[in-house]
Amino acid sequence: MDRSRREARIERRRAEQRRSQMTWLGIIVVVAVAVTGLLIYGNRVRPPQRTPGEAGYTQKNGISLGDPAAPVTFIEVADFQCPVCKTWYDTVEAQVIDTYVNSGDVYYTYQVVGFLDSPNLGSNESTQAAEAAYCAADQNKFWEYHDVLFANQAGENLGAFSDNRLIAFAESINLNMDTFRSCFLNDEKAELVTQTETAVNSLGINATPSFVINGKVMQGLQSFPQIQAEIEAALAAAGAN
């Protein structure tokens, strides 16, 4: 009887071990599938929610839109990893372009910075995205490239703006890839990003998004009515109303 009970206990332990092994095997399979899915999804270039040009990208000149002789100059300071910058892009930017840039009242210029780099993590995705966007500007596709960047924003310093993905973004908007790769991989715009950050810091700007409307600085997310009021005031001061 004792031997029978002992053999039964041994068999129960073996069964428990088999169940435990199967459980861990199932967990490993699930994790492997999830990681594979993330890698596939992560490498996919998501298209912009709005078609490039839908906002009215007329009179493009590198990082600027509109008539250089417009009575109001509007500068946006942005970091492409900044989630609030994406909120502005999603909700306000097109309204400003459609209402004031396309009418000839505003000359809209973009200044890109790398405020959200994380040196502690060894990540400089904000700066890399800025450099890539400036390289796209050389081919007069800055605005299309900024559309793709915002469409693919996915957290800060998590690999969404790795070098390979930034190159894939350029391919997705049909840039001359030899020219783009030469510019981007040789860090040809690194000094421009540094100069941009120095210039905006001199205005007291240390956060994104920020805006400069005929010299007046506004920091933080602004609604369209807030921006509209400032543009209308600037137009009135310039005698354009």
The H-assigned helical ranges of 44-88 are 83-88
For residue 42 the two structure tokens come to 């992560």
- Among 201, 191, 207, 122, smallest CA distance to 162 is for 122
Helices 125-138 and 163-172, packing angle to 10 deg? 30
Among 33-42, 56-65, 193-202, which is the least confidently predicted range? Answer: 33-42
Q: What is the pLDDT of residues 39-67, one digit of tens each?
A: 444 567 776 666 545 556 878 999 999 99
Q: What is the pLDDT of residues 158-189, one digit of tens each?
A: 889 999 999 999 999 999 999 999 999 999 99
| pLDDT number for residue 130 | 97
Give yes or no for residue 33 having a pLDDT over 60. Answer: no
Q: What is the pLDDT of residues 66-100, one digit of tens each?
A: 999 999 999 999 999 999 999 999 999 999 999 99
Q: What is the pLDDT of residues 98-145, one digit of tens each?
A: 999 999 999 999 999 999 988 777 789 999 999 999 999 999 999 999
Q: How many residues does the chain have?
A: 241
